[in-house]
Each structure stands twice: as structure tokens, then as C-alpha cells.
Chains A and B, each alone.
Chain A
């Protein structure tokens, strides 16, 4: 069966498609997160070999939100770039919808990271490269959202914020290399190095499931928001006035 993907670039077609798939993403998000948390709390050891006690379980919400915050930024830039190149309305709408969920997950990552810091390092915050770059990521998300709402003309605001998103993309490899520092003596800080290679298999399983749950959550929330944006921007069109929910 041949699928015409360009068909879904039209807001009308995408609106109905998104409405159909949102419930599946919610079910997947809840099931995966619940399973990941169950595994993380009941099938993992109480303490780790490196001396970490049961507070390490914060990792099951912290790591998923960190990865998704960075991934959503890349997705936001992708949609902004597609919008700039092909001048498609829906791409800008997707970028706009992704930014708020990305900012929210960045806040979750920073808040859970601060609690982790208090238990393991004795402080809520440390101005080290890893934490600081992540805080800058939050500021870029906020800057993108603020720029979008500051300009009334949606075409101009979409283009201006897309350029801002592209500039901010330079930060993502910086965050990645700050956590996976090739030379630890060059970037010593309280935040531990990435230990994904020698992680206990059960802990890894819990992390993977909660991260997948967060991913599905992001899909569901972004699609819900993009439907709202479509309705707002296309409210004067005939297809919106003919919608079942409007009549």
C-alpha cells in the first residue's frame, strides 16, 4: 500500500489523523511508565556498588526527562528547518507545539536533578558545565516561546523563532560532551560521568521503559497541542466551521 505522506502536510488531514492516534499514545505512555516504575522500584537492588543508596531511583524520572528534553529540542529544530526550507504551515505549528513540552521536561530534569544533587552531593545546585548547559537549554526554550508570543504576525514569529531554534542547536552537542566528557580532568564536577556502559541490567530495563513512556507522553502532548494550534490558526476556514465539535 502506497501512503501519500504529503497529504498529511495539510492541516485539515493532519488534524483528523492526530485525533485518531492521540489515545493510543496516552495508553502507551501510561503502560510503559507504570511498567518502568514498577521494575525500577521492585526489581532493582537497594544500593549500588559505587556506594549510591536507594536515592539512585530518582534516575527513573530524571534520565528519561533529560534525554527527552534534548531529543525534543532536536525535533523542534527539525520542524523549524522543514518550515524554513519548504515554507509549510504545519511544520512551524509542530515546532511551536514541541517547544512547550520540551521546556516542561527540561524543568522536570532540572528539578529531579536538584533533588538527586541534594541526596548525593549535599547541595541542590552546582555551577558545573553539565548543569549550567542544561539551564541554558531551558532559557533557549523559554526564549523561543517568548519570541513566538511577542510577534503578532504568525508568519514572521514562526520564521524568527525558527532561526533562534537553529542557533540554539549548537548547545545540544555541548551538553552531550559535558556529560560524556572525554577527559574527566578537564571537566571535573560533582555530576558523575555517564555510567551507561556498566549499568546493572534491571536498572537499565527500568530506565528504558520509563524513557519510552516519556517519549509516548511527548507524542500525545505535542499532538494535542498541535491540534489546538491548528484550530486557532485556521478558525476562519470553512473546514473548521464544518467540524463536528464546532457544530
Chain B
């Protein structure tokens, strides 16, 4: 969200300009969009990896408890 706000501020700066504002706006917008995409993608990826590890851990715990039961 912080990165988003900085980029919004950048876009507002750009729109304050008269001529060529659309070009400067375009350049800022592309940079902002791509540089925002990366941290969001990284956060989603982290969630997915953690979810995967938790699932794996649960599976291992279940297997261990079932093995203990069958041994008894």
C-alpha cells in the first residue's frame, strides 16, 4: 500500500504538468504498475508456499499418528 501511495503521488505530480503530461503520466504509470506488481506477486507467492508447507506438515503428522496406531 505504501508503494501504491508513492506511485499515486508520482502520477499526481505528472498530471500537474501542462504539455507532454500524458507522456510523462504514461511513463510513470508503467513504472508504477510494474513495480507494484512485483511486491504483490511476492506476497501472494509467500502465502502459497506457506500454505503448501502447512499442508505437507499436516500430512506428515497424520501419517505418523496412523503408523503409531497400527503399531499398537
Interface residues of A (CB under 8 A from B): 26-27, 29-30, 33-34, 37-38, 41-42, 53-55, 57-58, 61-62, 65, 100-101, 104, 107-108, 111-112, 115-116, 118-119, 217, 220-221, 224-225, 227-228, 231-232, 235-236, 240-241, 245-246
* 7 A-B residue pairings within 8 Å (CB atoms): A33-B10, A37-B6, A41-B17, A57-B14, A112-B31, A220-B39, A224-B46
Bound-state Cα–Cα, A95 to B47, Å: 22
Range of interface residues on B (Cβ < 8 Å): 35 or more
Interface residues of B (CB under 8 A from A): 2-3, 6, 9-10, 13-14, 16-20, 23-24, 26-28, 30-31, 34-35, 37-39, 42-43, 45-46, 49-50, 52-54, 56-57
Q: A37-B10, A101-B38, A116-B27 are in contact. Are A53 and B53 (CB under 8 A)?
A: no
B53 touches A217 (CB 8 A): no
17 additional A-B pairs beyond A104-B34, A221-B39, A246-B50, beta carbons within 8 Å, are: A26-B2, A30-B2, A30-B3, A30-B6, A34-B6, A34-B10, A41-B14, A54-B18, A57-B17, A61-B31, A65-B31, A112-B30, A221-B42, A228-B45, A228-B46, A235-B52, A235-B56
A118 touches B23 (CB 8 A): yes
Chain A residues, Cβ within 8 Å of B54: 246
Bound-state Cα–Cα, A241 to B58, Å: 10
Q: A231-B46, A231-B50 are in contact. Are A115 and B23 (CB under 8 A)?
A: yes
